[in-house]
């Protein structure tokens, strides 16, 4: 809920829409979550579709963005049953609303598809103003982690660089929402196969300052982007929000000891039986059910470590730590230890202390941009259009 509400800071939701919807959700009841957000999404979309509102492009844009956010929220907990037709239905609705939103931006967001070896990369390019001849801008590349969609990044991280005069490009790779849905490809550990084609694409453009190219990854993206950066020296700065050294340790470390032992022994049948029992017990915590339903076995997690490659990460690196992180506690410090002076470890606490600073986007992006300005030796300028 906080994640959805927090998107209000980046034109992605209205706060009281979300707070009020919470009243209709029963704790632990995934179905009530889906229904409550679907109702809110439908109501919001109906407002956006109103012809009167359409005459005001800013209103239409923000209302479509909110509707898209609520359809994504409605989808969030449906994945326990892959044949639920609402998974695709809600996704099509979110895509449609989001596309109407980005086409109404002062500089419309541009959906592009990049070719990679064995799959396609859906990406969205955003600019702070129309390209001006000979003006090259710092550019932020961004990707999410285990489950979030690139659309969410617009509200979570992208408006912040745009308003500072940066370009931004978001993208998804194997395992992430659209690539899994449309190409049926699960996660791959060698994420440079995703990032290098994105950098290649930027090299075809004339509005990029190649000395100021930074890559940001949220959540499990903290592993994915660190891995990619080790093989992509054209990136000049790296932001890990937060740092992940060894994903196996981080994910499996959240399981009870008996399950960890079965997992490590590769005993999938018994692991599944025990997980099945736990999932159907009345006491299964929602977070745990969700992690597992999302597919712990979907990829071989042992391969997702940067242990062997940290000496290849040469660019300045910002590592976010979060004092209330329920997923990756302790991992950011391990990344810092491995990178030494090349890295800055910053610990978010208090109201910004949750995983990826959920609910505190303004503070999160402020700290990240202060660091970027200092490593790129620049002062970001406020751009009025956003």
Ligand X SMILES: *[C@@H]1O[C@H](CO)[C@@H](O)[C@H](O)[C@H]1NC(C)=O
Give the shortest CB-240-to-ligand X separation in angstroms.
13
* Closest CB to ligand X: residue number: 347
Give the shortest CB-378-to-ligand X separation in angstroms.
27
**Cα 185 from Cα 202, distance rounded (Å):** 24
Nearer of residues 59 and 347 to ligand X, judged by Cβ: 347
Give the shortest CB-116-to-ligand X separation in angstroms.
21
Interhelix angle 57-75/30-49, nearest 10 degrees:
160
Residue 315: helix, strand or coil by DSSP?
coil
In the complex, the residues that contact ligand X under the rule CB under 6 A are 81, 83-85, 303, 305, 308, 321-323, 325, 329, 345, 347
Give the shortest CB-345-to-ligand X separation in angstroms.
6
Nearer of residues 96 and 293 to ligand X, judged by Cβ: 293
Give the shortest CB-323-to-ligand X separation in angstroms.
5
**Residues 77 and 30 sit within 8 Å (Cβ to Cβ):** yes
Give the shortest CB-124-to-ligand X separation in angstroms.
31
Q: Hey, which residues does 169 pair with through a beta bridge?
A: 125, 141
Nearer of residues 16 and 323 to ligand X, judged by Cβ: 323
Give the shortest CB-225-to-ligand X separation in angstroms.
17
DSSP 342: G
Nearer of residues 83 and 204 to ligand X, judged by Cβ: 83
Q: Beta strand 237-241 with 208-218: parallel, antiparallel or unpaired?
A: parallel
Which residue is it, tokens 């994105």? 198
DSSP 56: S
**Cα 268 from Cα 285, distance rounded (Å):** 22
**Cα 194 from Cα 376, distance rounded (Å):** 24
CA neighbor of 220 nearest in space, from 191, 182, 263: 191
Distances 268 to 255, 263, 272 between C-alpha atoms, Å: 14, 7, 6
Nearer of residues 125 and 346 to ligand X, judged by Cβ: 346
Nearer of residues 157 and 305 to ligand X, judged by Cβ: 305
**Residues 319 and 334 sit within 8 Å (Cβ to Cβ):** no
Nearer of residues 347 and 380 to ligand X, judged by Cβ: 347
């Amino acid at each position: 809920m906080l994640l959805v509400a927090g998107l209000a800071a980046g034109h992605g939701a209205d706060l009281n829409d979300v707070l009020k919807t919470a009243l209709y959700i029963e704790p632990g009841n995934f179905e009530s979550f889906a229904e409550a957000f679907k109702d809110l999404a439908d109501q919001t979309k109906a407002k956006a579709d109103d012809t009167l509102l359409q005459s005001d492009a800013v209103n239409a844009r923000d209302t479509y963005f909110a509707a898209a956010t609520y359809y994504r929220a409605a989808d969030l907990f449906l994945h326990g049953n892959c044949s639920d037709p609402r998974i695709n239905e809600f996704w099509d609705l979110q895509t449609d609303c989001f596309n109407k939103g980005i086409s109404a931006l002062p500089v419309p967001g541009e959906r592009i598809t990049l070719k990679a070896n064995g799959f396609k990369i859906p990406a969205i390019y955003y600019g702070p103003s129309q390209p001006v001849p000979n003006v090259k801008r710092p550019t932020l590349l961004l990707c999410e982690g285990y489950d979030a969609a690139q659309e969410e990044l617009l509200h979570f991280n992208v408006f912040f660089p745009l308003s500072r005069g940066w370009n931004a490009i978001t993208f998804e790779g194997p395992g992430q929402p659209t690539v899994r849905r449309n190409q049926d490809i699960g996660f791959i550990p060698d994420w440079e196969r995703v990032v290098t084609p994105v950098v290649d694409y930027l090299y075809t453009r004339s509005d990029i300052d190649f000395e100021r190219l930074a890559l940001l990854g949220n959540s499990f993206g903290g592993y994915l982007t660190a891995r990619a950066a080790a093989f992509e020296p054209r990136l000049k700065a790296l932001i890990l929000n937060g740092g992940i050294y060894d994903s196996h340790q981080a994910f499996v470390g959240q399981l009870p000891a008996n399950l960890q032992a079965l997992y490590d022994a590769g005993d999938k049948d018994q692991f599944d039986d025990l997980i099945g029992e736990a999932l159907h017990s009345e006491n299964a915590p929602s977070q745990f059910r969700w992690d597992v339903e999302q597919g712990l076995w979907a990829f071989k997690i042992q391969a997702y470590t940067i242990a062997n490659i940290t000496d290849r990460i040469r660019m300045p690196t910002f590592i976010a730590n979060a004092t209330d992180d329920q997923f990756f506690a302790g991992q950011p410090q391990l990344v810092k230890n491995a990178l030494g002076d090349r890295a800055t470890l910053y610990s978010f606490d208090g109201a910004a202390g949750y995983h990826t600073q959920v609910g505190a986007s303004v503070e999160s992006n402020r700290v990240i941009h202060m660091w970027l300005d200092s490593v790129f030796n620049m002062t970001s300028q406020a751009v009025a259009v956003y």
